[in-house]
Structure 1
Amino acid sequence: MLSALYQRSMATIGRRVPERLQPLWKHPAGPQTVFFWSPLFKWGLVFAGIGDLSRPADQLSVKQYSSLAATGFIWSRYCLVIIPKNYSLCAVNFFVGLTGAYQVARALNYQRKQQAALEK
């Protein structure tokens, strides 16, 4: 039932999409698929990582950001192997990996400085 409703909705919306945007609308990774919406919403992880730049380094979880970095970089590669290639998902995963790696670097640098201060 929901599938039929979805199909009718997309057909109705598709008739209203301007002719010049029809190639995007009909693309295998276009707005009618999860391949479009997943990257769009995943940018929230990137924005959250950027928002955490103002968080003190002692409050960052190395494990959490390590896993974000690893999954971001792993899925970036995977996005270029699947069919259809999903460059927007690749880009967002790459930036998830970058923000995760940067936060790990901040946290480890803080821990290293704390350890050096204790040894003095």
Structure 2
Amino acid sequence: MSAIYRGIIKAVDKFVPAGLQSTWSHPAGPKTIFFWAPTMKWCLVIAGIGDIARPAEKLSQFQSSALAATGLIWSRYSLVITPKNYNLFAVNVFVGATGLYQLYRIYKYQQSLKAQETK
């Protein structure tokens, strides 16, 4: 499989404009897994944004906590590794933010239930 991938990259190399060569050939650029893994991780962000429409009572506190924690941890990691991977940083900031927002929604929902019980 990697031979096929290398062949595709070699063919595409010829068509990359000179102004984009530094990005294309970067150690965390599109020629490496360090680009494609975070790019695919944006699907988690899309799913998290999709969950905003979901009622708070249907959200998982454990899942949202896990997403928030991994987003924050990996955001830090992406800035201390060599080469710095800003794509990984950006996606993890958004994963963490969506997780934190869902936790906030769960918290507000639980507080509203407690307020209704005390009435």
Q: Shared fold by TM > 0.5?
A: yes
Q: Which amino acid counterpart does residue 56 of structure 2 have in structure 1? A: A
- 4+ runs deviating over 3 angstroms: none
User: 1:49 — aligned with what?
Assistant: 48
User: Once the 2 structures are TM-superposed, how far is the Cα of residue 3 of structure 1 from its aligned partner?
Assistant: 2.6
Distance 1:65 1:3 in 2: 35
Structure 1: state its 5+ residue gaps: none
Query: 1:16 is paired with a residue of what secondary structure?
Result: coil
Identical-pair percentage: 56
Residues 3-82 of structure 1 aligned to structure 2 (within 5 Å): 3-82=2-81
TM-score by length of 1: 0.92
1:62 touches 1:108 (CA, 8 Å); kept in 2? no
TM-score by length of 2: 0.93
Q: Deviations over 1:7-62 (max 9, x none)?
A: 22211111221222111111101101111112211111111111111111110111
CA RMSD of aligned residues (A): 1.1
